[in-house]
Amino acid sequence: MSRFEDGTAFKTSELFKRYPKAIQIHLYLDEAQVCDPLGSKTTSNKLVFVYFQLGNIDVKFRSNLKSIFLLSIFYNHQVHAYGLNLLLKPIVDELKQLEIGSNFKIGGRVKMMFGTVTIFTADNLAAHQVAGFKIGFAKAFRKCRYCLATDCDIQSHFSDCLLEYITKENHILHCQGLNTNYVEHFQKLYGINFDLVLNELQYFHVIGGMVPDVLHDVLEGVLPRPTCLMLRSFLVEKKYFSIDQLNHALRNFPYGHSDIKNKPSLIDIAHIKRLKLRQSASQLWQLSVTLPLAIGSLVPYDDEE
């Protein structure tokens, strides 16, 4: 699986069954600080940006900044004052029109095109906020936007087959509870604050549409710790090689032309012992690919770890 068309969401969508070349819109939301982060105007000047990208273009072009477009900007304090539903409604109204068909002038000819949102990504806190879930993970009995696990389940079950997934159908029922006299009960039980306006679209829903963000979940999330544990075992405990050998291997590895700019920084043994890798997300991506090739010959073949 390398693109949206490989998944079941594309293959089961009524829109893409009828129009396989319909426009795929990938949305991304992120916050940015435009002034001194230590200044007095930090909060009041914090902005929220909504970007979009066309999923129809070839995968190799999607990481190019020229293929990413700005869709909307609003102040962070406006989110708290008016809510995301109001701020995103103009976007949703245009998307509704696109789902039923809009005329585009292409090559001098007018052509009816269809499309919808296929993917919405954000960091974990923003994704919970966008999808209508509680932002503070300790504020609800069930705190995951993918499954119905309780805190006890999360600490004891480590396979997804042991957990019950949130479906579009049961999420709709949970949101209907917000319109009853037991609104506070449903909010705390299922960790939901509101039903997102994007769910009004015919072919998109936050359940199944809010995909994990590889940068925050993997590269800056779970990847650094096991990498440090592995290197600490090889360097400190088993002494397969030294830190100088490791850095020499990374420094002299034959990186490809497009990989040079993401070349990992030299590693400090003190950082490994503290389980903290001082690398950017793109460097961690490159390190995860390079490390097995760079030090593989230095690790005994029969090492089961």
Confidence band of 32 (pLDDT split at 50, 70, 90): confident
Q: What is the mean pLDDT of the chain?
A: 89
Confidence band of 39 (pLDDT split at 50, 70, 90): low
Residues in the chain: 305
What is the predicted pLDDT for the residue at 63? 78
Asked whether residue 13 carries a pLDDT value surpassing 90, the answer given is yes
Phi/psi at 142 (5° precision): -115, 120
pLDDT average, residue stretch 83-91:
92
Share of the chain above pLDDT 90, in %: 51
pLDDT average, residue stretch 12-38:
88
Q: What is the pLDDT of residues 108-130, one digit of tens each?
A: 899 999 999 999 998 888 888 88
Across the chain, where does the E strand assignment appear? 23-33, 46-54, 68-75, 102-106, 109-113, 115-121
Q: What residues does each domain of the chain span?
A: 1-132, 137-195, 220-298
Q: Are 144 and 127 in contact (CB under 8 A)?
A: no
Q: What is the pLDDT of residues 121-169, one digit of tens each?
A: 988 888 888 888 988 767 788 888 899 998 889 889 888 889 999 999 9
Using DSSP's 3-state secondary structure scheme, residue 240 falls into: coil
- For residue 295, give the H/E element and its range: helix 281-295
Asked whether residue 199 carries a pLDDT value surpassing 90, the answer given is yes
Produce one character per residue of 35-72: b if its CB has 16 or more CB atoms within 10 Å, e if not.
eeeeeeeeeebbebebebbebeeeeeeeeeeeeeeebe
What is the predicted pLDDT for the residue at 100? 95
Confidence band of 41 (pLDDT split at 50, 70, 90): low
Cα 151 to Cα 272: distance, rounded to the nearest angstrom: 30
Asked whether residue 243 carries a pLDDT value surpassing 90, the answer given is yes
Q: Are 10 and 4 in contact (CB under 8 A)?
A: yes
Among 112, 31, 118, 117, which Cα is nearest to 78's? Answer: 31
Confidence band of 305 (pLDDT split at 50, 70, 90): low
Among 33-37, 262-266, 293-297, the range scoring the smallest mean pLDDT is 33-37
- Looking up tokens 């949305």 gives 27
Confidence band of 42 (pLDDT split at 50, 70, 90): low
